[in-house]
């Protein structure tokens, strides 16, 4: 799956049209509360600028509705922050394909950077409408995809634009290159023992991931609320633990868990104890149950015996993939299971890949991000890559 890298493209005197993921959280005053996604795109942007190229950045932010007042979703704060990080002005166009964008792209000089307004302000972005894609495509001499968080989508700026730029270099940025390396290539030929740790709420959300990983892993460890669907599938009692918001959802999760148990056999490792509370609160009464969970009690984390077993398995692994926390890690003391797993991963010699979303937040929150091999920037995208899916937005790019 190796694709042409921006590092291997001659960008001197050229304009690079780069799709990034600047979908950052903003507070009520429009201030960025977490700039990690901008920081992660810096190496690709800096690489182009340092080699005498100009960069035109496309991104979305939030879920604006075309034609409505979308001021709260403007990318202007990201341009200001990018300028601070680069130490030089990042220009901003007040539209993506309108007069301001066209004028600023035309005037852009080598070593300069321009952020276009939120591509999702245009109704044609979702559909990848041809004229819209052609306008964006005309802005660049080179197309670069460095937006891993949206690689599983085929929006205009992700697919129709590179399609319209056939014949020009179409490459991946350094971030997407790294994501593909770890999430695709390492998983395709891992060192063994290969251990996957899956948590989160619903088995039905991760059934394809579980199915794919059972085919390539030595062990798959289950935690989080999805463990309760597995307990039900084994005929155990789960008290008032979460196994779905509706009866239909619960039934689907239990059916998916039964299928995974049949396929997985001994490869599937389930909790032996559960840290429970009699209310969803840090101040509630707490109790650890082995086996059945009594009525009136809710499982909020794996128990201490399970945490020790999982940590021991992780320490012996050569490759570890983790997607989903082991419990309600935002609410101590129900963060203990997630902490134990994170610490074991950080202390192991394994190649360790942390899936995006809550797992990435947990590893950052616990201070272990610099002690693992790779923290993915894409929640949905990393899940789909763990399913073994191919991404059209990546497939369309030039081979290395």
Looking at the annotation, which residues are catalytic?
37, 202, 357, 380
Coil vs helix vs strand at 123: coil
The CA-CA-CA angle for residues 154, 156, 157, to 5°, reads 100
Q: Are 301 and 328 in contact (CB under 8 A)?
A: yes
Q: Are 346 and 359 in contact (CB under 8 A)?
A: no
Tell me the C-alpha distance between 390 and 379, whole Å: 16
Per DSSP, the residues of 154-179 read --IIIIIHHHHTTTS-EEE-HHHHHH
Tell me the C-alpha distance between 90 and 109, whole Å: 12
Question: Which tokens hold the place of 41?
Answer: 């795109």
Q: Are 56 and 82 in contact (CB under 8 A)?
A: no
Tell me the C-alpha distance between 266 and 239, whole Å: 26
Q: How many CA atoms lie within 13 A of 366 on its CB side?
A: 27
Return the biggest CA–CA distance within the chain.
69
- C-alpha 71, offset from chain centre: 26
Close Cβ partners of 101 (under 8 Å, ≥ 6 residues apart)? 93, 94, 95, 116, 117, 139
The CA-CA-CA angle for residues 336, 217, 266, to 5°, reads 80
Close Cβ partners of 353 (under 8 Å, ≥ 6 residues apart)? 182, 183, 186, 187, 319, 320, 321, 322, 372, 373, 374, 376
């Amino acid at each position: 799956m190796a694709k042409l890298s921006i590092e291997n493209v001659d960008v001197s005197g050229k304009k690079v049209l780069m799709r990034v993921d600047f979908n950052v959280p903003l507070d009520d005053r429009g201030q960025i509360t977490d700039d990690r996604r901008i920081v992660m795109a810096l190496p690709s942007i800096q690489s182009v600028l340092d080699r005498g190229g100009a960069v035109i950045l496309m991104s979305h932010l939030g879920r604006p509705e075309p034609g409505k007042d979308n001021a709260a979703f403007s990318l202007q704060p990201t341009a200001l922050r990018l300028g601070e990080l680069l130490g030089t002005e990042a220009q901003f166009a007040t539209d993506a394909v309108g007069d301001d964008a066209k004028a600023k792209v035309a005037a852009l000089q080598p070593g300069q950077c321009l952020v276009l307004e939120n591509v999702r302000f245009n109704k044609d972005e979702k559909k990848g409408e041809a004229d819209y894609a052609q306008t964006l495509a005309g802005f660049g001499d080179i197309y670069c995809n460095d937006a891993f968080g949206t690689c599983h989508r085929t929006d205009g700026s992700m697919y129709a634009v590179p399609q319209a730029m056939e014949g020009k270099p179409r490459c991946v940025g350094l971030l997407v290159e790294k994501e593909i390396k770890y999430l695709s290539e390492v998983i395709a030929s891992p060192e063994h023992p290969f251990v996957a740790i899956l948590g989160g709420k619903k088995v039905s959300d991760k059934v394809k991931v579980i199915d794919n990983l059972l085919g390539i892993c030595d062990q798959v460890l289950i935690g989080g609320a999805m463990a309760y669907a597995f307990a039900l599938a084994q005929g155990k009692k789960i008290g008032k633990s979460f196994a779905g918001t509706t009866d239909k959802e619960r039934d689907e999760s239990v059916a998916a868990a039964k299928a995974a148990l049949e396929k997985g056999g001994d490869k599937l490792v389930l909790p032996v104890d559960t840290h429970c509370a009699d209310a969803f609160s840090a101040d509630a009464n707490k109790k650890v149950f082995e086996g059945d969970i009594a009525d009136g009690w809710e499982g909020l984390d794996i128990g201490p015996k399970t945490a020790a077993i999982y940590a021991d398995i992780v320490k012996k692994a050569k490759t570890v993939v983790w997607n989903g926390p082991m419990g309600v890690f935002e609410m101590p003391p129900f963060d203990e299971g997630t902490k134990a797993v994170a610490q074991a991963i950080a202390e192991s010699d394994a190649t360790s890949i942390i899936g995006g979303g809550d797992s990435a937040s947990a590893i950052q929150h616990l201070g272990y991000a610099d002690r693992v091999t790779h923290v993915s920037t894409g929640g949905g995208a990393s899940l789909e890559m763990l399913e073994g899916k191919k991404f059209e937005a990546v497939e369309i790019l030039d081979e290395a």
